[in-house]
Structure 1
Amino acid sequence: MPFIRVTVSDPDLAPARRNALAQGLTDLAVSALGKSAARTTVLVNPVPAEHYYVAGHPVREATGAHVEVSITAGTNNADEKARFIAGAYALLRETLGTLPPITGVALHELHPESYGYNGITQFDHYRRAPRPAEAVG
């Protein structure tokens, strides 16, 4: 159940670009991390360009962007996470054009007892999931 937040230094980000980021990050969560598209949420957060700084200086010649993803700890290996980070950066570059020299993608791994949806922790979702033998019958 990933929650993906992408902050972009463009308050007038065109709807087509917002949609491309949301769909691209959802597709990447499915393909790189093996997550369910139906349980993936993306928040595109456009901010004023003058609020985005790198090395203490405003970014002027590029569109600043940062991606943060909350996932359940232990559900992905290092290769899957690396594929997501590389793919997210490529998507940002393709969708937004020139990026500043530092463009981050962060995967936050949250303990299943401390993370959940619809009022239920991930731990309880996993405990309640039918076991393979139960699912057949």
Structure 2
Amino acid sequence: MPHIRATVTDPALPADLRDTLADGLTRLAVDALGKSAARTIVHLDLVPADRYRVAGKPLPEGVRDVHLEVSITAGTNSAAEKAAFVTGAHTFLTGVLGPLARGGVALHELHPESYGYGGVTQFAHYRRN
């Protein structure tokens, strides 16, 4: 159950780009990490650039940035798969949004007993399947 939170420095990001980001990040989770599209959540958090700082300074006018935080189940992906996701995310995001100030990605590996959804932990989900 990957949960992808994308913080994007553009509160007026057009709907078509929001759709492109959600679809592309879902596809990347499927292709690079082997995750189920049906179980992938993408949360877009659109923030004003003046609330987002790099090296303590606001972004220059017209420059966007994105930071992805991705929750995945610990032990379900190899280092190569995670690296492919990080590289693929950068390529995808710059292709959609243009040059980024930093373009960070954080993969958070959570123990399967520590999270889930629909009232079922990931541990219980994997045991049933």
**Band the TM-score falls in, shorter-chain normalisation:** over 0.9
Offset of 1:89 from its aligned partner?
Answer: 0.8
* TM-score of the superposed pair, with normalisation by structure 1: 0.91
Unaligned runs of 5+ in 2: none
The residue aligned with 2:110 is 110
Please give the secondary structure, in 2, of the residue aligned with 1:84: helix
Name the larger-Rg structure.
1
Unaligned runs of 5+ in 1: 130-137
Poorly superposed stretches of 4+, deviation over 2 Å: none
Q: Report 1:55-74 matches (<5 A).
A: 55-61=55-61, 62-74=63-75
| Alpha-carbon distance in 2 for matches of 1:94, 1:103 | 12
Offset of 1:81 from its aligned partner?
Answer: 0.3
The residue aligned with 2:81 is 80
The residue aligned with 2:28 is 28
**Quick one: which amino acid aligns to residue 113 of structure 1?**
E
- Give the percent of matched residue pairs that are identical in Structure 1 and Structure 2: 62
| Alpha-carbon distance in 1 for matches of 2:110, 2:12 | 32
Q: Report 1:1-137 matches (<5 A).
A: 1-61=1-61, 62-100=63-101, 102-129=102-129
CA RMSD in angstroms, aligned pairs only: 0.8
Q: How many residues are aligned here?
A: 128
